[in-house]
Amino acid sequence: MSKLTLEQEALRRRTFAIIAHPDAGKTTLTEHILLAGGAIRAAGAVRARGENRRTQSDWMKIEKERGISVSASVMTFEHNDKMFNLLDTPGHEDFSEDTYRTLTAADCAIMVLDAAKGIEPQTLKLFEVCRLRDIPIITFINKLDREAQDPMALLDEIASRLQLDPAPIWWPAESGNRLRGMVEMGTGRFQPYAKKPAGSAEDVPHPDALPLAEAAQYFEEGEHAALVEARELVEGGYPAFDRQSFLEGHMTPVLWGSALRHFGIDELLAAIGEWAPPPKTMKAHKAPPAGTRNPAEPVATTVEPGSTEVTGFVFKVQANMDPNHRDRIAMFRMASGKFQRGMKLKVQNTGKQLSVNAPIMFFASDRELAEDAFAGDVIGIPNHGVLRVGDSLSESGLIRFAGLPNFAPEILQRVRVKDPLKAKHLKKALDGLAEEGVTQLFRPEVGSDFIVGAVGQLQFEVMADRLGEEYGLEVIFEPSPWAEARWIGGAKGDLEDFMGKYRGQMARDIDDDPVFLAKSSWETGYVMERFPNVAFTKTKERG
Ligand code: G4P
């Protein structure tokens, strides 16, 4: 049994996600972080695990066919007295809202850049989400074993495009074929790089680090002196790392390496352990469940990671991993307390109580029943549809966390089932997928269509695939007349007036909240101007 206090347990948690443009090396880095953390023994295991999962359940063939990762999951490992929870975010450019929501469960992000490419479009998008949520960022510049851009140009790009102060922790000595290693800015420690011998499949271990002054043997003519000089220049030219500034989102420590060659990975893991923040105090509301008689007004409160009540929120639901059992696993991020198996938790918005008898911890090679868990941890809670994305759970049932956003979809399509006899099943299946957050579902007030909304085209493919595999429904997507959707809010009278005038363009989402469907962004602008007392919003915070 652990003798640590709740606070100490929380303090040793590091819950983080990796953000990257596709191909920058997120998967490879994940694998090598797990390797460095002792969670797996051989590289290749992450993919193998993926294959295994697919052959077990086959629920996402698409993932395999397209060689992309669509589903987000979590991997937990313990290293040097710290518990690391690595959240996996989908990397494809048509990434869904999953990515955004996964980031709501992360306390820190590792931003991976390809050293030859620098900041790419998807990096920027993901970075913006992190900034919005005040998630501090550690930068890892990958693929040094290939010809890279000038390191200073890369740092300048971070500074100018992200408005983030880069603080180099290490400095690379060349790249590609000429990569010699890297020097630690503060200490002057040099970590040599061992090149893979030509034609060899085997990796050679990198030699031990040593003071730069004693490392001349690792360099060719003039290179050693050049690195000594570069270090001085960089020291004068960039700010020293300041943890406070990093935690506040103004500064990013920059590390370098090659995920593929396991170079710079131990250093990265050490940096995460040392600098990434433990779970923080979270803003919440104390509120009785909806439908309570004489409901009291929600009261703003905060939840300390070390407080005794178990609280947290569901940021993802993975359903039908085993199609024979229509099971659903809710990914529950803990905000406080000590969870113990068998505990009863209440869902804030419905008041439903749940005995959590078979919670799952996700380790890289295995899944285990979670006996206990603390703030920062993510456990999987199997359930039959009781839990939805955005739900807050706690012992009292009174704590509600805000901030799990739904984003206005960028594509809206009509969905029809090929076999008209199955129309009834379609409704149920669409509800299920919408509750999971795969796609959004809108039911127009007029007519019997289902309008499905997504942030990216890929979400429709995933959806069609899953409707076929899991529900036996062959569906057709058709263009809809709608280009945009906006949630509406305001005083009752104003809303009724607006909804009456635009009844043919009104719909309801799965929470039964009213949504305005516009034919164009011009129309959205037009109605916004005409109805200044109605708020038209692009995001909806659930919970
Ligand atoms: P992603 O998840 O961000 O999309 O990237 P992933 O790790 O799949 O890496 C994309 C490609 O980049 C892979 O090559 C991978 O081997 C390579 N890569 C990742 N890190 C490094 C690195 O540090 N150095 C070099 N040279 N390459 C790296 P691929 O050919 O597309 O796939 P594969 O056949 O090697 O699996």
More confident residue, 485 or 202: 485
Residue 284: φ, ψ to 5°: -155, 180
Rounded CA-CA distance 377/10 in Å is 9
More confident residue, 292 or 436: 436
Q: Whose CA is nearest to atom 28 of ligand 1?
A: 260
Q: Whose CA is nearest to atom 36 of ligand 1?
A: 28
Q: How far is CA 232 from CA 185, 224, 238, 267, 345, in A?
A: 9, 13, 10, 21, 56
388 lines ligand 1 (CB under 6 A): no
**CA 45 – ligand 1 centroid, Å:** 15
Find the mean pLDDT for residues 365-369.
67
**At residue 10, does pLDDT exceed 80?**
yes
User: % helix / strand / coil in the chain, to the nearest 5?
Assistant: 30, 30, 40
CB count within 10 Å of CB 67 equals: 8
330 lines ligand 1 (CB under 6 A): no
Q: How far apart are the first and last CA of the chain?
A: 34
Find the mean pLDDT for residues 525-529.
95
ipTM above 0.95, yes or no: yes
Task: Give the per-residue pLDDT at 91.
Answer: 54
Question: Per residue, what are the HEC states of 193-258?
Answer: CCCCCCCCCCCCCCCCCEEHHHCHHHCCCCHHHHHHHHHHHHHHHCCCCCHHHHHCCCEEEEEECE
Tell me: the pLDDT tens digits for 30-62?
A: 888 988 998 776 665 555 444 443 332 333 444
What the chain holds in terms of domains, given with CATH numbers, is 6-275 (3.40.50.300), 282-402 (3.40.50.300), 406-542 (3.30.70.3280)
Tell me: the pLDDT tens digits for 213-263?
A: 999 999 998 999 999 999 999 999 999 999 999 999 999 999 999 999 999
Which of 77-86, 96-105, 244-253, 354-363 has the lowest average pLDDT? 96-105
Task: Give the per-residue pLDDT at 50.
Answer: 46
Alpha helices per DSSP H over 443-536: 457-471, 492-501, 521-530
pTM over 0.90: no
**CA 18 – ligand 1 centroid, Å:** 15
**At residue 448, does pLDDT exceed 70?**
yes
Q: Mean pLDDT score of the chain, rounded to an integer?
A: 86
| Residue 237 assigned ligand-binding role | no
Task: Give the per-residue pLDDT at 322.
Answer: 53
Tell me: the pLDDT tens digits for 393-436?
A: 999 999 998 766 677 788 899 999 988 888 888 988 898 888 77
The token pair at 32 is 């090598």
32 lines ligand 1 (CB under 6 A): no
Q: Which of 32, 260, 268 to mutate to test the pocket of ligand 1 (most atoms within 8 A of CB)?
A: 260
Tell me: the pLDDT tens digits for 460-503?
A: 887 888 888 888 899 999 999 999 999 999 999 999 999 999 99
| Residue 292 assigned ligand-binding role | no
